[in-house]
Amino acid sequence: KITGGLQKTRRVLGTDIRDLFKSAGRLVDDEFLDELFARLIRTDMGTKPANLIRDEVAKKYRGRVVELEEVIQTITEEIRSQLRQDDGDLAKAKSGPTVILVVGVNGSGKTTSIGKLSHYLRAARYSLVLGAGDTFRAAAVEQLTIWSERIGCEIVKGNKGVDPASIAYQTVEKALEIKADYAIIDTAGRLQTQKNLMQELQKIRRVIEKKIPGAPHEVLLVLDATAGQNAISQAKGFSEAAGCTGIVLAKLDGSAKGGVVLPIRDQFQLPVKFVGLGEGMQDMAAFDPDSFADALLK
């Protein structure tokens, strides 16, 4: 699944790296290393990860003539090690409902990601309740309602402008009442009034925590992969205010810049838990660093 969604990035990186080897082998010197660096950068991985890869290739091969496959393997291993994460699995409460709060800037793919995550959980036979906490946008509530009908799960919603914290509260209450395995709560993502939004997120957290100590068990930050490095600074505020525990990287299929996973992993110091690979219900995959690194360069 991950392999399919990364076609564009692979075309760029794979072809670019192969392109460095017009003849059978190549001498690894500064010229080669600079060209390699430039090609890595085109995937939007940013200078730090690209430098680490460059250094690794230099350390191993400088002054030697190398084959394409040797370099590909070294790059794959370095990417894999940069993406290593121990906590990539979705949290599960020891008992009672697992509460997942989903945050992110409008347009990042938040609502779609909630739909896909719900489908993923339903396919694994979990019961769930959705909370339409983005009460600011009527369209978001409508969209989530459609998802709940498609998936066949309960949804808690209110009128436009109702306090999102009260929706969060009722969602958790509903989850407890029907003994749901998961409660997934949407939140607003408007950037214009960022300060209020951050306070709102903190209030939602408090309300949930009051109802179930230790919840929310997971706070997922949805990022748009096509936004490249811009996504990073935009989402920093969300991550800090909401106490995020993991990332959903949406729209990785639509981007020639899958390399963006590397700086995201580095700068947020959060595990990437899922990647979005299309607009359909099934177009999401649990993120696995190994298959990602392989897919990127195979």
Q: Could you tell me which residues are annotated as the binding site? A: 104-111, 186-190
For ligand GDP, which is the closer residue by CB, 181 or 186? 186
φ/ψ of 124, rounded to 5, equals: -90, 15
Q: Which two tokens stand for residue 135?
A: 């009460």
d(CA 236, CA 155): 29
φ/ψ of 25, rounded to 5, equals: -125, 165
Residue from 112, 118, 239, 245 in contact with ligand GDP (CB under 6 A)? 112
Per the annotation, binding residues for GTP are 104-111, 186-190
Specify the amino acid at residue 167.
Answer: I
Q: How many Cβ atoms from other residues are within 10 Å of residue 9's Cβ?
A: 27
User: Is 111 a residue that touches ligand GDP (CB under 6 A)?
Assistant: yes
For ligand GDP, which is the closer residue by CB, 119 or 251? 251
Q: What is the DSSP letter of 162?
A: -
Is the separation of the CB atoms in 225 and 255 below 8 Å? yes
Whether the bond between 216 and the residue before it is cis, its omega within 30 degrees of 0, is yes
Is the separation of the CB atoms in 42 and 20 below 8 Å? no
Residue from 128, 278, 293, 296 in contact with ligand GDP (CB under 6 A)? 278
For ligand GDP, which is the closer residue by CB, 270 or 275? 275
For ligand GDP, which is the closer residue by CB, 50 or 241? 241
Site string for ligand GDP, 249-268 (x = CB under 6 A): -xx-xx--------------
Question: CB 122 → ligand GDP: shortest distance, Å?
Answer: 18
User: Is 119 a residue that touches ligand GDP (CB under 6 A)?
Assistant: no
Residue ranges in contact with ligand GDP by CB under 6 A: 104, 106-112, 140, 189, 250-251, 253-254, 276-279, 283
